Structure 1
Amino acid sequence: MIISIILPVYNGEYYIKPLIKKIREQEISAEIEIIAAVSKSTDNSLNVCRDICDISYLVENFNHAKTRHEAAIKASGEVLVFITQDITPYDKYWLKNLVEPLIQDNDIVATYSRQIAYPDSTETEKLIREFNYPDYDRICNINSKSKWGRKNIYYSDAASATLKEEFLKLGGYDFNIGTNEDVIYALKVIGNGKSILYNSQSKVYHSHDFEMKSAYKRYKLIGSFEKKYEKELKEYSSLGEGKKLLIYLIISLSKKFKFKELIFLFLDLSIRYFGYRKGYTAE
């Protein structure tokens, strides 16, 4: 079996060598193919990728969905693994644990990893990752909507895997979008009677401590996405999960006496909310 790992890269020279080293060290019997789709960068990303990846090429116009789809077409593996340049495998079994459910006799056609915040992240970011990526598995399909709510279509291609045959059959990422291409794929999988596994045994380090300007832009894109796909998402309101997360953060930060982060939390969430509303209500 061949596993094709698809890695979009942009100014990623700092990340690439240690990441690829960790991938090559994974304990797995399958052959690994690493495909780097490198956007125009100001560092030496393309040359570094050409030296240590199996396939590397320059992307003229990056798009979160289309770029990944074009890389998937180039892949020779039966299993596609999508990652981002800023993850780090937690251990040597990340990949094995991620892909194993896909090759067993079941209806699982997509899986994604548990994300753990980097040790130097803020307490808030660590708590967000704990809330969104708990230490238990979730199998999500058309019958689990009421059980998991919005998390039924929660799917992150920061570290995910899917069967190439099913991916292409469902249209993959063959569309243009500014963000949340993974959610669209999750909707396709579930809408076609298949299952997605949130795989808590497959772990990566991944976290962001966004600056306010970046957070505003990101949530503006999310708002625009949710407006565009309002019909498809109507059964999966994010409002309930947002309230649960807020309560969890307030209680947890208070218990840990992180009052400075608690104050910043309200400012940060306000900026994200205004960004979201701006994107959602834009003409």
Structure 2
Amino acid sequence: MYRFAVVIPTLNGGHTFERLLASVDDQILKPNRKIVIDSGSDDDTVNIAKKYNWEIVLISKEEYNHGATRQMGVKLVTDCDIVVYLTQDAILTNSETLTSIISNFKQSDIGAAYGRQLPHLNARPFGAHARLFNYSDKSMVKSIDNAAQFGIKAAFISNSFAAYRINALLSVGGFPSNTILSEDTYVAAKMLLAGWKIYYNAEAQVYHSHDYTLLQEFRRYFDIGVFHSRESWIREKFGKAEGEGMRFVLSEINYLWKSGNSLLIPEACIRTFIKLLGYRLGLKENIIPHRFKCLFSMHKKYWIRKNMA
């Protein structure tokens, strides 16, 4: 059996974080290493991690970076074959979740695997639909051979619950330290181009969803646009995101109608406009003054670091 580690970056994890650690404790297949990388929490996050006997690495808020912090995790677990990443607000749904995700690596050409994310029980319709749209109930294996079938979604993966074969991850250079977000998509695209396959396992499940405000949607999609602008090779190799966006919009309206939330359809249309505006501005970020990038972005520290570089 593979040696594997679970790594969780944290910042003020709150009550959900303890539920996550309890769900890891309940797993039939136990991790060989359990590491929390905390970036300056001022709540009980570190004490909770100690209570559950996790290894703790402390960094400052300024040091945190989506890719670099996860790459730090890779360097900490070179005694393992696989590293599993979770975010602090994801909860494993049952005791066999880790067994299921690790089993995918029996295929020697699987470089990464990710599981299905189900909406939290109290999720609003928008957050719930996003999970149901992006994470189907059917498992699949994605490779460069069938990438055209999936388009931009070929490189889709989520570090809220994803596992990586460490030698495959290192073979494509590991996680990038200079992306605003989507370090997982970056690595997945690199793996596919290098001949590795990515397994989506619909049976390995976590509860994880977000209820974003309109402003948060704008800022998140601005950052996604920035990522696609700066990593334009992904769109060139796998296709543009706009077509997938249209599928999402139609699916969301249908979901709201059928779930008895038709009164939310006008808000859905506003959200679509806000997301598209944010994304388009992100794609054009090279002509936007720096102070506006800081204003528009969800990840403001990225721009502060860029300005200081």
Provide TM-score, normalisation by structure 2: 0.87
Greater Cα offset, 45-54 or 83-92? 45-54
Which runs of structure 2 are paired with 1:81-120 in the superposition (5 Å)? 81-102=84-105, 104-120=106-122
Amino acid at match of 2:195: G
Q: Does residue 1:52 correspond to 2:55, yes or no? A: no
Contact 2:155–2:189 (Cα < 8 Å) also in 1: yes
Alignment partners' CA distance in 1, 2:205 and 2:157: 14
Greater Cα offset, 165-174 or 154-163? 165-174
Q: Does residue 1:36 correspond to 2:36, yes or no? A: yes
Alignment partners' CA distance in 1, 2:10 and 2:220: 18
Alpha-carbon displacement from aligned partner over 1:234-254 (angstroms, at most 9, x marks no partner) = 232111111111111112212
Tell me the equivalent position of 2:240: 237
Alpha-carbon displacement from aligned partner over 1:62-104 (angstroms, at most 9, x marks no partner) = 10000010111111321100110000111111111111111x1
| RMSD across aligned positions (CA) | 1.5
1:220 to 205, 219, 222: 222
Tell me the equivalent position of 1:16: 17
Alpha-carbon displacement from aligned partner over 1:155-207 (angstroms, at most 9, x marks no partner) = 11110001112212221114222110001100111011110011111011110
Alignment partners' CA distance in 2, 1:264 and 1:51: 43
Structure 2 unmatched runs, 5+: 287-309
Q: State the SS of the aligned residue for 1:57.
A: strand
Q: 1:174 to 1:151 in 2, by over 3 A?
A: closer
Greater Cα offset, 179-188 or 145-154? 145-154
Contact 1:35–1:53 (Cα < 8 Å) also in 2: no
Q: State the SS of the aligned residue for 1:266.
A: helix
Alpha-carbon displacement from aligned partner over 1:212-267 (angstroms, at most 9, x marks no partner) = 22222111110100111113322321111111111111122123331222121111
Q: State the SS of the aligned residue for 1:139.
A: strand
Amino acid at match of 2:144: I
Contact 1:179–1:221 (Cα < 8 Å) also in 2: yes
Matched residue pairs, number?
A: 281
Q: State the SS of the aligned residue for 2:127.
A: helix
Amino acid at match of 2:4: I
Contact 2:6–2:83 (Cα < 8 Å) also in 1: yes
Alignment partners' CA distance in 2, 1:146 and 1:90: 32
Greater Cα offset, 84-93 or 227-236? 227-236
Tell me the equivalent position of 1:268: 271
Which runs of structure 2 are paired with 1:1-283 in the superposition (5 Å)? 1-28=2-29, 30-60=30-60, 61-75=63-77, 76-102=79-105, 104-234=106-236, 235-283=238-286
Q: State the SS of the aligned residue for 2:8.
A: strand
Alignment partners' CA distance in 2, 1:191 and 1:116: 29
Tell me which protein shows more helix as a share of its residues: 2
Cα offset for 1:53? 4.0
Q: 1:53 to 1:237 in 2, by over 3 A?
A: farther
Structure 1 unmatched runs, 5+: none
Alignment partners' CA distance in 1, 2:187 and 2:31: 25
Identity %: 25
Q: 1:278 to 1:53 in 2, by over 3 A?
A: farther
Cα offset for 1:42? 2.6
Provide TM-score, normalisation by structure 1: 0.94
Q: 1:264 to 1:106 in 2, by over 3 A?
A: same
Q: 1:142 to 1:49 in 2, by over 3 A?
A: same
Amino acid at match of 1:49: A
Contact 2:228–2:234 (Cα < 8 Å) also in 1: no
